[in-house]
Every structure is written in C-alpha cells, then in structure tokens.
Amino acid sequence: MRPSDRIFRVLSTGSAGLIMVILAGVALFLIIKAGPAIVANWSANPDLAGGTTHGYTSFWSYVGPLVWGTLFSSLIALVLGAPVAIGIALFISHYAPRRLAGVLGYLVDLLAAVPSVVFGLWGIFVIRPFIIPFQDWLNHYLGWIPLFSGQVSQTGSTMLAGGLVLAVMILPIITSISREIFLQTPKLHEEAALALGSTRWEMVKLAVFPYARSGILSATLLGLGRALGETMAIAMIISPALLFSVRILTDTGNSQTIAANAALNFPESNPLQRDALIATGLALFVISFGVNFIARWIISRTGGSRRLRKAGSR
C-alpha cells in the first residue's frame, strides 16, 4: 500500500502544481508579449498606423471600448440567460416528474457540447432574421430608452442577437450548477415549509432560495466567465464597432468585445499589432481574474452562513 499511496500523492500534487505553472506561464506570456504594444508610441509608430490600430493615440484608448464591449455583452447575456437557467434548474429539481427531469437535465448538459461555431451559424441563419421584426417593434415603441435607440438594424447583426445566442451558451453551466444546489436543499426545510401551509412556490421561496443563494450567485458568475471569453459566436453574429455604446438594436453601435476583436484582426496584423491584440487579451485575463475573485469573495462570505444553517438543521 505504501508505494502506491506515495505515487498517488505525487501524481495529484503534481497535477495541482501543474495548473499553477500553466496559469503563471499564460500570465507571463501575456505580459511579455503585451509589453511592446503597451509602451509603444501609438500616434507615431508606423506599424500601428494602419489596420485595426489606425487612429488611436495610446493602448488605453484602444482597449477601453473593448473592455466596455466585453462587459456589456456579457451583462446582456446574463440578464437574458440567468433567469431562464435558474428557472430550468428549479423545474428539474422541484417540479418535473422524475423521468422528464432526467431527460431535460441531459438535454441541457448536451447544449454545453455544441461547438460555438455552430451557435454562431445558428445565430446568423436563425436568430438574426427571427429577431428583426421584434427589434423593429422595440425600437418603434421603446426607442426613447437609450438601450433601444438609434437606427434599427436591417441585417439583425446586433448586440441583442449576439446577447441572445450568448445567453443560450451560458445556460448549461448555470443550470447544471444551480440544479445540483437546489437538489441539496435539506428535505426537512422543505417539509417544514409545506407543513406551515406553504404553496409549492412559497416553499421554494422560503426554503430553497435562501439555502441556494450563494450557489446561484457562483453559478451565475461562472456563466459570466464563459460569456466574457466567448469569441467565435460573437465574431460571427455581431457587427462590431470600437466605441462606448449601450445601443443593442443597431448595426453601428455594437461595442466590440476583446476576444472577437482579436480573432477578427489577428490574421491581417503585423507583429506589433499582434502584440497589441495580445495586450487586449491581458486585459481580458485581468477582468476574468477579477470576476472570479469577486465570486470567491461573495461565496466565502455567504457560504459561511450557509454552513452554519446547515449545521443547525441536523
């Protein structure tokens, strides 16, 4: 037993160490490659005068709109996707007949296996034409809200179309984590709520949600992480522009995301422009790190009280 124990210990410690090394390696790569583009003189350097970096005075003026676009598109995806995902999870855990729940859970997990290029094509050929009349309606009646203002798109390649597809793409991760958490709700809590005369919805409100709150939050933030880095679907569907905009129904007012911008411009870029794109990647790395950090922090804060409640119920 002893040698095998030792071998297993070494293997698992090695795996844990490896992930740290990989992460540090990626960070180091990003920083080293990004350096030249960040310190370059953007208004004078001939390598940055053409193509995607044309007309910017510094790296920060280039990356600013991209950071905004990345956050904004992910936010739209979350607003559209998270409630549905949580609804599906709740249906699977508390409403659906057992057999249906199994099938449904399996189907949602299957969504995660669809390649993003397929989602992109689906967005182009199905979602875009489908939402054009809906966009016209929103723009006509609610155009006074900045979100829905502007010249409405006739092609459908809008932030709304991209956000919708992105929302579908983050469904599986939010659903499957929320579902597991809902299923762990202590039976005693639920039965107590029902015994007090609660309807099923009141039971969910009283027993399930408070118990699962931090779990839902961490699931949502993991979904956000997925949305932040999504590249192909966004690149294929949305008509991008490098600007700060909240419009979601136009062709010309969709803030570009970091990942899609890098994918679209990498092939035609010269070495320094590639460094600039990698530098925007560094910004994305920092954002993702920040999101995960906040998620951990929230979970550690609320997770503590959950453990207390859990202990009390036993």
Partner 1 sequence: MKFTNAAAVSAVALASVLALAACSGDGARSSGTPNAGTSADAAADYSSLSGTITAGGSSAQANVQQAWTTAFTAQAGNVKINYDKSQGSGGGVTNWLNGSYDFAGTDAALSADQFTKAQTTCGSDGGVNIPVYLSGVSIIFKLDGVKKLNLDAKTIASIFAGTITQWNDPAITALNKGVTLPSTPISVVHRSDGSGTTNNFTTYLHQQAPAVWTWDAGTAWPNNVGSGQQGGSGVVNTVEAGNGTIGYADQSSIGDATAAAIEVGETGTFVEYSEAAATESLAQSGTIAPQGEGDLTVDIDTTKITDATAYPIPLLSYDVLCRSFKDADQGKITAAYLGFVVSKTGQEIGAKNADAAPLPHSYLAKAAETLASVK
Binding site for partner 1 (CB under 8 A): 46, 50-52, 54, 124-125, 128-129, 153-155, 157, 235-236, 239-241, 243, 251-252, 263-271, 273-274
d(CA 190, CA 202): 10
CB of 145 to partner 1, least distance (A): 22
Kind and range of the H or E run holding 291: helix 271-313
Question: Per the structure block, which two tokens stand in for 273?
Answer: 């422009």
For residue 178, count other CB atoms closer than 10 A to its CB: 27
- Which of residues 104 and 241 has its CB atom nearest to partner 1 in the complex? 241
Burial class (CB in 10 A: 0-12, 13-18, 19+), 293: exposed
Q: Answer for the pair 172, 111: CB distance below 8 angstroms, yes or no.
A: yes
Among residues 252 and 305, whose Cβ is nearest to partner 1? Answer: 252
Q: How far is the CB of 268 from partner 1 (least distance, A)?
A: 3
Q: How far is the CB of 7 from partner 1 (least distance, A)?
A: 41
- Cβ atoms of 238 and 260 within 8 Å: the answer is yes
**In angstroms, rounded to a whole number, what is the distance separating the alpha carbons of residues 73 and 89?**
23
Q: Which is nearer to partner 1, 178 or 255 (CB)?
A: 255
Cβ proximity to partner 1, 105 vs 123, nearer residue = 123
Name the minimum Å distance from CB 264 to partner 1: 4
The nearest distance, CB 63 to partner 1, in angstroms, is 16
Return the number of the residue (270 or 292) whose C-beta is nearest partner 1. Answer: 270
Please give the backbone phi and psi of residue 301, each rounded to the nearest 5 degrees, phi first.
-70, -55
CB of 289 to partner 1, least distance (A): 28
Distance of CA 244 to the CA centre of its chain: 19
- Identity of the residue, 152 or 181, whose beta carbon is nearer to partner 1 in the bound complex: 152
